[in-house]
């Protein structure tokens, strides 16, 4: 049976160079990085070299990169610490953020009695920047949390505009950038974001490691107590091989950026063109069908299939060896509608199946032809 993996927004295949570098570290550099002997110093050197690699990619100082277990921890670290340590009383976000942000903010509101404001969205899920500016005119200390690239519909935030608005009103700005780091170049000397989250497994690195960018002199205090690791902000013995892996993955993404960006973008455009031709009644959710207004890595399509038949679609795709998702990976096992699509689709379209297909350098046009042929056959059955 043919196997096609079109769920790269959930996680990606690890690059061979990343596997090689991690394997070498596990074999030869197993010292605890907090130890003072040569084994420990070797591990510490690898961690700090990796930190500098990531810092150079973002044009920040190495001390502003804090390694975490992934994007969810990085989001939690920043949001919780901002409320606890920086006197944040008001958080502005949107209703289509990742649950790592939305659920954390709701818990913070219950625990600390902070106010939550949700910025308006247009019919495609784009942020209403005028409304954001209105919400920023709150006298309380405010933090804005808006994701750079939406993981379900691919909409891209004007992150510079959002950051500048926050600075105009003396608000802190956090961006969940899990879907953009490794796929977009970002200069954080130009983009005045205060906090940012990333995860290695979204750009061909290992699972279980990510980082938080925390701008220097932020005032954040430790989130995990028990040691001086990660500038004292996150105690615990560092996972050296994973840290080397995330740095190698980001370095490889940067070194091959132009060619790989164009290749994956061409796959998305081919998918759009082909599915429009073969299934003319298909529609695209959010901006995902617009190669300019959305990320080049995914599309989210609404298919002309009645509800009863739609219930079997993902099962049938899986039987044909096709991996994709009806939303984020966190929601794929749920019977509930995507919270993102619920915000932007009408009731009629919510009854139709919406599927996210996300692409990587390891995909081909032949795979796209196969997937669309399977979709077409299922619709015509």
- Residues with active-site annotation: 330
Distance CA 149, CA 313 (A): 26
Task: Indicate the Cα dihedral angle 320, 321, 325, 330, nearest 10°.
Answer: 130
* Residue among 191, 178, 203 at smallest CA distance from 75: 178
Tokens of 216: 């220097």
Q: How many CA atoms lie within 13 A of 181 on its CB side?
A: 29
Cα 86 from Cα 174, distance rounded (Å) = 13
Q: Which residues does residue 211 pair with via DSSP β-bridges, in sequence order? A: 67, 198
Total residues found in the chain within this entry: 381
Residue of 208, 214, 247, 229 lying closest to 50 (CA atoms): 247
List C-alpha distances in Å: 56 to 35, 61, 64, 185, 250: 27, 8, 11, 11, 10
Tell me how far apart the alpha carbons of residues 89 and 144 are, in angstroms, rounded to a whole number.
11
Residue pair 135/169 in contact (Cβ under 8 Å)? The answer is: no
């Amino acid at each position: 049976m043919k196997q096609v993996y079109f769920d790269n927004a959930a996680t990606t295949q690890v690059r061979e160079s990343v596997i090689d570098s991690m394997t070498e570290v596990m074999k030869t550099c197993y010292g605890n990085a907090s130890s003072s002997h040569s084994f420990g110093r070797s591990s510490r050197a690898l961690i700090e070299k990796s930190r500098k690699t990531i810092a150079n990619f973002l044009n920040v100082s190495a001390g502003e990169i804090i390694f975490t277990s992934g994007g969810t921890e990085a989001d939690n670290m920043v949001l919780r610490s901002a409320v606890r340590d920086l006197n944040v009383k008001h958080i502005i976000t949107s209703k289509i953020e990742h649950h790592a942000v939305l659920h954390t903010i709701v818990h913070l509101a219950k625990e600390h009695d902070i106010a939550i404001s949700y910025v308006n969205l247009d019919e495609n899920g784009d942020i209403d920047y005028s409304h954001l500016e209105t919400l920023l005119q709150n006298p309380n200390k405010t933090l804005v949390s808006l994701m750079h690239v939406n993981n379900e519909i691919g909409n891209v935030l004007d992150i510079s505009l959002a950051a500048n608005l926050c600075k105009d009103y003396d608000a802190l700005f956090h961006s969940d950038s899990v879907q953009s780091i490794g796929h977009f170049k970002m200069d954080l000397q130009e983009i005045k974001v205060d906090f940012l989250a990333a995860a290695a497994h979204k750009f061909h690195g290992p699972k279980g490691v990510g980082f938080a960018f925390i701008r220097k002199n932020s005032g954040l205090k430790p989130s995990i107590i028990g040691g001086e690791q990660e500038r004292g902000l996150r105690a615990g013995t560092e996972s050296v091989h994973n840290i080397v892996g995330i740095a190698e993955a980001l370095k490889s993404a940067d070194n091959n950026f132009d060619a790989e960006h164009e290749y994956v973008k061409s796959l998305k455009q081919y998918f759009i063109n082909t599915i429009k031709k073969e299934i003319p009644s298909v529609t695209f959710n959010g901006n995902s069908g617009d190669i300019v207004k959305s990320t080049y890595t995914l599309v989210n399509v609404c298919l002309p299939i009645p509800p009863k038949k739609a219930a079997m679609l993902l099962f049938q795709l899986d039987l044909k060896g096709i991996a994709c998702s009806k939303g984020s990976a966190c929601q794929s096992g749920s019977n509930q509608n995507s919270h993102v699509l619920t915000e932007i689709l009408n009731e009629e379209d919510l009854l139709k199946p919406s599927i996210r297909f996300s692409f990587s350098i390891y995909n081909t046009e032949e795979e796209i032809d196969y997937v669309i042929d399977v979709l077409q056959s299922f619709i015509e059955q």
